[in-house]
Amino acid sequence: MPIYNKLVRDRIPEVIEKTGKELSSRILEEEEYEVELKKKLGEELTEYNEAKTNEEAVEELADILELLHAATKIHGSSFEELDKIRKAKAEKRGGFDKRIFLIEVEDD
């Protein structure tokens, strides 16, 4: 039996059981959950970086977005608040649409 030891989406045990396979799982404590959520976010970011097609990239971005929703909750916030902060930062500092790559800044 393969051992995974990783955070999975809520319905994955149900999906596995429907195939007739047995599994073992447990509910993580808050501190463990935060650690595992960060690991999962890193895993999905790696998969996004390794995506070979636009379709694969968007699929991984959807996973990252789902994890961002979960992460905002563990930090006592909401996705709406996160988006509000994102918009305020974009208004103050801009977004990334212009593709500006900073080379260097003169140091006094």
Structural domain count of the chain: 1
> What digits encode the pLDDT tens for the residues 34-82?
999 999 999 999 999 999 999 999 999 999 999 999 999 999 999 999 9
Report the alpha-carbon distance of residue 64 to residue 62 in Å, rounded: 5
In a domain, 108, yes or no: no
Using 50, 70 and 90 to split pLDDT, how confident is the model at 108?
Answer: confident
Cα–Cα distance list, 45 to 2, 26, 36, 41, 69 (Å): 23, 25, 14, 6, 15
Q: Please report the pLDDT score of residue 82 as a whole number.
A: 97
Give the model's pLDDT for residue 50.
98
Q: Is 98 within the bounds of a domain?
A: no
The answer to whether residue 3 is domain-embedded is: no
Q: 29 lies in which domain range?
A: 12-93
Stated pTM of the model? 0.89
Give yes or no for residue 11 having a pLDDT over 90: yes
* Long-range contacts formed by 93-96: CB under 8 A, 24+ apart: none
